Structure 1
Amino acid sequence: MKTFTVSVVTPDGPVYEETGAEMVSAKATSGELGILPGHVPLVAPLTINAVRIKKDNNTQILAVSGGFIEVRPDQVTILAQAAELAADINVDRAKAAKERAEKRLQGSKQEDIDFKRAQYALDRAINRINVTSR
């Protein structure tokens, strides 16, 4: 069976780097992507969502906060603003971040920039919590 290399990189450095992946599933802004070996090359922006990497009949799940996916026939590279393996996520911290973001969104009228930041923080916290429950 053909396989490929998967790299997930953030500004803080590599989060995941493995060879032998059989499939990658990610959510781009245009919809869900399923990547198999030999996939046509593409570059697409990602949403805040889970990325699933299937290797040796096991699925590794990462929480990815936006970024881009670059697909080549033998390699998939995800350049993300932030990414964490499900096992590395501190659920209590993610729940606290979710509560803080919800309070900011429910508070008095704020500038548009603060609203966008609070919504981004809420989406990211929800994604991190969802990834740990899968």
Structure 2
Amino acid sequence: MAEEKTFLIKIITPERVFYEGTAIMAEFNTSEGEIGVYAGHIPLTVILKPGVLTLTEESGKKKAALHTGFAEILPDQISILAEAAEWPGEIDIKRAEAAQKRAEERLQAHNPDTDMARAETALLRAVARIEALR
């Protein structure tokens, strides 16, 4: 079997260096849709949207909830600056489900005082957390 090409990836949040290592592939949500990145990708800068980050390493796959931020993609590395990132073991499922319910209720209420963009982002974050656990 041919050796897989890997690239460096570093994910930084305001609180910590969330991940630093090598991967064969990284998949995550952007403002333009989901993207999958392999080594040798064309240079690109993207805006992150809340969703599940899937890292394919030589030893297997890892999932995490990844929230808003930016990513710089280069042929040999990805740098991600994220508002927050969480491994499944760091996620409280009951809290995520409650946050999802609150966000859905705010969106359905059609209250003119509701910040709809904020409610939509809260919903996406809650769903990302729940999906990262699956």
TM-score normalized by structure 2?
0.85
Write out aligned runs for 1:67-82 (5 A). 67-82=69-84
Find 2:33's aligned residue among 31, 34, 41: 31
Task: Using the TM superposition, give the Cα deviation of residue 130 of structure 1 relative to its aligned residue in structure 2, in angstroms.
Answer: 1.2
Task: Using the TM superposition, give the Cα deviation of residue 62 of structure 1 relative to its aligned residue in structure 2, in angstroms.
Answer: 1.4
Which residue of the partner structure matches residue 130 of structure 1? 131
3-state SS of paired residue (2:49):
strand
Q: Cα gap change, 1:27/1:102 in structure 2, threshold over 3 Å: closer, same or farther?
A: closer
Which residue of the partner structure matches residue 98 of structure 2? 96
Which residue of the partner structure matches residue 11 of structure 2? 8
Does 2:93 match 1:86? no
Separation in structure 2 between the aligned mates of residue 120 and residue 29 of structure 1, nearest angstrom: 12
Task: Using the TM superposition, give the Cα deviation of residue 57 of structure 1 relative to its aligned residue in structure 2, in angstroms.
Answer: 4.1
Structure 2: tracts of 5 or more residues without a match = none
Structure 1: tracts of 5 or more residues without a match = none
Which residue of the partner structure matches residue 117 of structure 2? 116
**Partner AA of 1:85 in structure 2:** W
Aligned residues: 131
In percent, how many aligned pairs have the same letter? 37
Does 2:58 match 1:43? no
- List structure 1 segments (4+ residues) > 6 angstroms apart after TM superposition: none
3-state SS of paired residue (2:39):
coil
TM-score normalized by structure 1?
0.85
